[in-house]
Amino acid sequence: MTMIAEQQMEHIGETKGCADHDHDMIHELSKRLDALWRCDQYIANAEGHADLRRFWKEIKTQEEANISRLKKLLSKHIQSNCF
């Protein structure tokens, strides 16, 4: 890495907006919300393939449960001033 590039990156990561575990929960919630959003399209794309539609519906149900659980954990951390 060149000296200029090293100088440009010297202070990246010094400031943290929240603890790593809080960031992880938020990041994972975002990813799972995106996945849930896509499930409806996948179900529609599987028209005429009952086994595939059933699979995507099961995935959607699992993601809904995962999202609900993660939202509860986030809420718990926020309420306990851990966030």
3-state DSSP of 2-46: CHHHHHHHCCCCCCCCCCHHHHHHHHHHHHHHHHHHHHHHHHHHC
Domain boundaries, the chain: 18-79
C-alpha torsion 67→71→77→79, nearest 10: -170
Whole-model pTM: value is 0.76
**What pLDDT shows up at residue 19?**
85
- In a structure prediction context, what are the per-residue pLDDT tens digits for the chain, which is 83 residues long? 577 767 777 777 778 788 888 889 999 999 999 999 999 999 999 999 999 999 999 999 999 999 999 999 999 999 998 77
Tell me the pLDDT of the chain averaged across its residues: 90
